Amino acid sequence: MFNVGVPESELYELAQALVDAESPNPPGDVRLPLEVAAGYLARNGIPFIRVSCDSEYKKVNLVARVFGGASGPHLVMNAHLDVFPVSNARKPGKPPAAHDPAQAGPLVVRGRGAVDMKGGAAAFMVALKLLHERREQLHGRVTLCLVCDEETFGPYGSRALLEMFPDLYGDALLSTEPSSTAVVRIGERGFVWGEAEFLGEGGHGAYPGGAKSPIELASEFIGDLRGAIPEAWKQEASAPGGKMSHDLLAPKGKSFVDSVSLNFGTIGGGLTVNMKADKCRVGVDLRVPLGKTTDEIVAIVREVAARHGGTFRLNNSSEPNKSDENGPLFRILKETVERVTGSPPAFAIGLGCTDARLWRQGGVPAAVYGPDPSTMAHDDEKVTLAELCKVANVHLQTALQFLGGTR
C-alpha cells in the first residue's frame, strides 16, 4: 500500500499550469487557476464543488472529497490559489521560461506562486489522485480545500468554508505552505494588522509656521514605535516548552521566531509637493510570538500613535498558535519525512502566518510541510521538481498511513 510515488512529469505540468494562471491578491480573482485545478480533478474522476462567497463570483474555493472503504478519521488538506501581487520593481517583459529542454539542469517550476503556494496545491492534487485510486483501502476520508483570499487573510477563503461547512475542520490538517523539506511547522506567530492615521490643517507649502504636518507626525511615530517594543519581549518571549526555531525559517540564520517583529507595509499622504499634507496613513504589520497576545501589542501601538496626535485602527489580527507535536499526526509525519528525505525533520514555529492557524484555533492538529521559502514573494519565485516531489510524496505517504486503519 505504501510503495507508490507521485508521477513527476504530471506534477510538474500541473504546478506550472497553476503558476501560469495568474491570481494576484489583491484583487483576489482566482478563477483561472481554479479552473486548471477543476479540469485536473474532473479528468481523474474526483468529485468536487465550487464555493463562492463574493457577489462577483471571482473569489472561489474548491472542495474535493475522497471517501475510504471503511470508517475512520477525516484528514483535511489545505492550499490557497491566490498569490502576492508582482513587485513594482520587476522589469517589464515576459518572465523566463520554466524550463528549456535544450539546456541541461533540473526541472524548475517558476513564477509567482511557485513556492507560495501553487506548487504545494499541485502536490496535494496529485497525491489526492493516488489516494482516490486506492480509496477502497482507506479508513476514513480525505478532503482537499483549494481556497482564495489567503494572502490578505480575508473572509472569502478558508474562513468562509469553515463557517459554512464545520465538518471541514476534520480530525487533522496538512498544509503545503513553505517550510523546507527539513522542517515541519507545528505553529506560528500571531499578527496585528492596522493603520495609524495622522490629521492636520493643510495649507500652502510656501508659508512656514504652524503645527507639524501629518507626514512629519507619521515619521516620528514610525521611529518611536520601533523603539517602543520592549527589548525584553524581543529576548524573552518564547514558545511554551522551549525555543522552537530553525535557520531555514529566518534569513541569515538569525532566529526571529521568539520576537515581536515590525513592518511598515504602506504609507500615503498629501496631494502635491507644494502643499502641506492634511492627512497621512501608515500601514502597520506586527508579528506576535507565543507567550504574548495581540491585545498587548495593540495597546502599545495605540499609545505611541496617540503620543504623536494620531489614532490606530485594527483591521485584522490572530493569536499565536501551536499544535502538540507529540500527537499521532506529527509522529507519522516525522517518520514519513525521514523515510522520503533520509533525515528526520526539525519541528519549528513559523515566522509567517497561514490558514493552518484556523484549524489550530479550532482545536485540530495542523502541520505545515512544503518547499524552501527562500524565494517566496520574490519576482523570480521558483521550486525544483525534485523538491516538489519530496513534498508530494511526504503528504501522500502521511495520508496513506493516517488513513490506513492501523493507528
Give the CB-side neighbour count of residue 353, counting CA atoms within 13 A.
Answer: 29
Same domain, 38 and 155: yes
Mean pLDDT to the nearest integer, 109-115: 96
Residue 177 domain-assigned? yes
List Cα–Cα distances, 46 to 41, 129, 218, 391, 392, in angstroms. Answer: 5, 7, 53, 21, 18
Domain boundary among 318, 350, 367: 318
- Domain that includes residue 397, residue range: 8-188+320-402
> If pLDDT is split at 50, 70 and 90, which confidence band does 403 have?
very high
The answer, as to whether pTM is greater than 0.85, is yes
Residues 58 and 179 in one domain: yes
**pLDDT over threshold 60, residue 238:** no
| Interval 16-43: pLDDT, tens | 999 999 999 999 999 999 999 999 999 9
For residue 242, the model assigns a pLDDT of: 35
Residues 171 and 252 grouped into a single domain: no
Name the domain boundary from 318, 335, 361.
318
Per-residue HEC secondary structure of 339-385 comes to: HHHCCCCEEEEECCCCCHHHHHHCCCCEEECCCCHHHCCCCCCEEEH
The model's pLDDT over 137-147, given as tens digits with 9 standing for 90+, comes to 999 999 999 99
Residues 85, 151 within the same domain? yes
Judged against a pLDDT cut of 90, whether residue 230 lies above it is answered with no
Confidence of residue 377 (pLDDT cuts 50, 70, 90): confident
Average pLDDT over residues 265-292: 94
Quick one: pLDDT at residue 405? 75
Same domain for 311 and 324?
A: no
256 vs 53, residue with greater confidence = 53
Residues 163 and 244 in one domain: no
> In 3D, which of 380, 401, 361, 348 has the Cα closest to residue 177?
348
Instruction: Report whether pLDDT(407) > 80.
Output: no
The answer to whether the beta carbons of residues 141 and 135 sit under 8 Å apart is no
341 in the same domain as 311: no
The enclosing domain of 361 has a CATH number of 3.40.630.10
Per-chain mean pLDDT for the chain: 89
Residues 226 and 337 occupy one common structural domain: no
Domain count, the chain: 2
